[in-house]
Amino acid sequence: MSWIHKLYETYEQCQGRDMAGEAQLLPVSHAQQQAHIEIALDAQGGFKTARLINKIETYIPATEQSAGRVGTKPPPHPLCDKLQYCALDYPLHGGKKPSFFNEYEGLLNAWCSSEFAHSKAQAVLRYVHGGTLITDLVDAGILHVDANDNLLTRWTGSGPAPELFRMLTPNAGERDQGDAFVRWQVWEQGNPCTAVWEDTSLQKAWAWFDASTKTLKGLCMVTGVGETALAENHPKRIRHAGDGAKLISANDSSGYTFRGRFTDKTGLQACGVGYEVTQKAHNALRWLIHRQAYRNDDQVIVTWAVAGKDVPDPFQDSLALFLSAEEISQADTQSPPTNVGDVGQAFSLRLNRAIAGYRAKLAPTDDVVVLGLDSATPGRMAISFYRELKSSNFFERLQTWHRRSAWMQNFGANRQFIGAPSPRDVAEAAFGRRVDEKLRKSTVERLLPCIIDGQRLPRDLMNSTVRRATNRVGMAHWEWEKTLGIACALFNSYFHERDYQMTLETDRLSRDYLYGRLLALAEHIESRAIYLGGEKRDTTAAKLMQRFADRPASTWRTIELALTPAKSRLRAKQAGFLHKMEVLHDGIVASFQGDDFLDDRKLTGEFLLGYHCQRRELNSPKVDAIASTTEEAIAN
Amino acid sequence: MQQHPKGIWRFFMVNPNGIEFKVSARHALFTDPLTKIGGEKCSYHIPTYEALKGITKSIYWKPTLIWVIDEVRVMKRIRTQTKGTKPLDYGGGNTLAIYTFLADVEYQVRAHFEWNLHRPELKDDRIPAKHLAIAQRMVERGGRQDVFLGTRDCQGYVESCVFGEGDSPYDVEGELAFGLVFHGFDYPDETGESKLHARFWQPTMFNGRVTFKRPEDCTVRKYVRDMGIKKFGDQNLRGVEAEAAELED
């Protein structure tokens, strides 16, 4: 089904079901604005009280034109608007800006005299007809005037500037109080809902009226219903408040983007979408992006269940997935089981439980949608990725991704875990921390099908990460550790059918794996000797790691020769340790098959796995703790 | 799976005047009309009727006949790929856009032709065996004109094939719905009325196959604009006998 139809469905399913305190779905024919002043009226339209509010985001009724208003003659909002629009007496008090009261009053009047009139709107209309708005607000101490009863544009009185002056945006040092945005409360007898922005009956009444004014009728290409009111403009501000990019826009009065077979400039020949559909779909998209999207610059990728339930973000690493899963299913927060054989098993169990937590909330046939947005220019937005999956499929793929790409990760003191890295971390591991934004975007995008469609990892990404993990000289220690973990994870994912274990496999006899183990051993011996000698320097093994990866057999000779002084030192001080190491060394060398040990060809990423596992095996878990679960798992 | 008889006779038994071909390309872009007007084109996941009809017309077409697409079979897993593009502006310069293509596509198509009854002037040309023979020859030669999938940027290749042969990753995937999708245009020279309409339908893919509705069976239509009919006749058409006679002189 098309993306816009899915969004529309999501709106229909989630409307009215959102929790208090969370971002709400915007009603149709409404817009969001920051209000400065709240005015309370009685049911007859008499002024009661007014107060300053600190730029609270408010849902206000809006027309299609006013929602996207710009320019010198901006169209008015019908109910809540700036003083410049609402106040008849704004020019009388020396208002610097043009008054748009007539337009405002005309629109509100049209609504109030239609069959869709609402009592609250009528009260507001009666009040603004009185023309005392500015006077009332001055009396209430909210607006400030000078001796001639003109509105101040800068604070001249003594003491600190009043609050309103601090809220308004200055233009060349002047703040026009006519810019203050008003929202209304109407106190009606027996109606506890006084706020116009919370009154759903008012919202509906406005939406009906707004729909009744639509003259453009035609086929909606989303629902297939003919003779519906069509949208002339599609909403913007999709990704954030300052976002001017539109998903649907006709952008062609002079070029030939779509013209040819179609001859009009508006794009209505080529495309028509129902007003209600586009409003709801865009509102749903905005809401989803705000709640749960992965965002990186202009790129937004949002994953959601049409039924409105929680779904795991495919852009998290496994740790974040576990934490968020444990958050949503609080019932299931007992400590992870400790009596499991190896690290991989503990991880699988945790992963299964995390996914099961999400799975339980969704029926297997519920739809999950992944939508990627990006824009090349500020004015337009493109759909860069779109997938619909059944939730069972989605969870299966996500689980597969996390399982296949799992490795022991060390992202710093508090971020040690077993699992898959996030796409963002993969991009950094493959191309460095200062990766170009475009490259980062496209890398994330290339990883999407690997997660969502279960495709194999791109080989170049894996290779690049392995190469960087090998070249440890250029990186800080923590960064190298992180890259190493990710490189192992990616290699593991790429060759998942080889079934690498997350513990040392002494029975794996491939050349690369064994060479990796040898390198870890050499590093371990030398670093112990360095420690005993009270020195601080890199080991030869660490320094030569890259050369070792390119020419293992010949480099191993250099590394082994460099071990001689270290061994002498250890023989004097820790003979037992040295003996153990030498036995291990002989064991590894003896495991090489045929001429493997003499083979000087380049090593593949597999040697990193051997290296990493051997290193973990040598260093006690206390020193190289991965996660508490792991420690326990190994202890058992 | 439906069992087809073998050889040339199967065409007549399954569908007289029918051809079957395979079309493959590195990219395809069957633009979703919602994204067409902005210029950031995004492809549908399956080919539209009109795109396949265009491909068939590139293989072989005469104004005497109308191609009707019966069925398409998706032979490779649907993958998308985005590319930053730099479309030229008509007035000079360029803009930037992101196109979302289908990547690495292959389809098997089954189509047949019918006479265009709105062209009585070409009545003498309604010789089924002749057109079928040419069409089949042209399938084997990869078509007469450039083949492209949806958008001119996406060149493709036509080969002959037996519809239904070979494995598709969707063979056991069951049903997949796509919502309201563009079907094709009702061009005046095929409908007889001087109006251009766009047709829509709700396709479902069952085990990788999409069986197309016939154009006249699509109920959702959108009026686009008035359009005239191109006339073919003595001025711009020439009989093959006359051509042959002239060549012999």
All residues of chain A having their beta carbon less than 8 Å from the beta carbon of residue B185 are 261
User: Which tens digits make up the pLDDT trace of A506-562?
Assistant: 889 999 999 999 999 999 999 999 999 888 888 999 999 999 999 999 999 999 999
All residues of chain B having their beta carbon less than 8 Å from the beta carbon of residue A273 are 34
Strands A182-187, A47-61: parallel, antiparallel or unpaired by DSSP?
A: unpaired
Residue A166 pLDDT greater than 90, yes or no: no
Residue A241 CB-half CA count within 13 A = 5
Residue A627 pLDDT greater than 50, yes or no: no
DSSP secondary structure, A491-507, as one string: HHHHTGGG---SS--TT
Residue B208: strand, helix, or coil: coil
The DSSP call for residue A31 is: E
Q: Which of A263, A267, A384 sits opposite B225 (nearest CB)?
A: A263
- Helices and strands (H and E) in chain B: how many: 6, 11
Question: A182, exposed or middle or buried, with CB in 10 Å at 0-12, 13-18, 19+?
Answer: buried
Q: What are the C-alpha distances in Å from A424 to residues A114, A123, A439?
A: 54, 54, 11
Residue A21 CB-half CA count within 13 A = 0
Q: Which of B48, B98, B223 has the most A C-beta neighbours within 10 Å, making it the best mutation to test the interface with A?
A: B98
All residues of chain B having their beta carbon less than 8 Å from the beta carbon of residue A381 are 40
pLDDT at site A550: 93
Contact state of A386 with B42 under an 8 Å Cβ cutoff: yes
All residues of chain B having their beta carbon less than 8 Å from the beta carbon of residue A252 are 37, 39
- Mean pLDDT taken over chain A: 86
Residue A629 pLDDT greater than 70, yes or no: no
pLDDT at site A635: 41
Residue A135 pLDDT greater than 70, yes or no: yes
Contact state of A270 with B37 under an 8 Å Cβ cutoff: yes
Question: Quick check: A238 contacting B, CB < 8 Å?
Answer: no
User: Could you give phi then psi for residue B160, rounded to 5 degrees?
Assistant: -80, 150
Please calculate the CA angle A291-A295-A298 and round it to the nearest 5 degrees.
125
Residues 417-456 of A with CB under 8 A from B: 445, 449, 453, 455
Contact state of A248 with B37 under an 8 Å Cβ cutoff: yes
The rounded distance, in Å, linking the Cα atoms of B205 and B209 is: 5
Which amino acid would we find at residue A140? A
Instruction: Give the global pTM.
Output: 0.85
Contact state of A382 with B99 under an 8 Å Cβ cutoff: yes
- Going from the first residue of chain B to its last (249 residues), give the mean pLDDT of each consecutive group of 10, the final group possibly shorter: 47 72 96 90 95 96 94 93 87 88 95 92 89 94 94 94 93 90 93 92 95 93 90 75 84
Question: Quick check: A514 contacting B, CB < 8 Å?
Answer: no
Question: Quick check: A253 contacting B, CB < 8 Å?
Answer: no
Rounded to the nearest angstrom, the minimum Cα separation between B45 and chain A is 9
Rounded to the nearest angstrom, the minimum Cα separation between B99 and chain A is 7
Find, among A12, A38, A37, the residue nearest to A25 by Cα: A12
All residues of chain A having their beta carbon less than 8 Å from the beta carbon of residue B37 are 248-252, 257-258, 267, 270-271
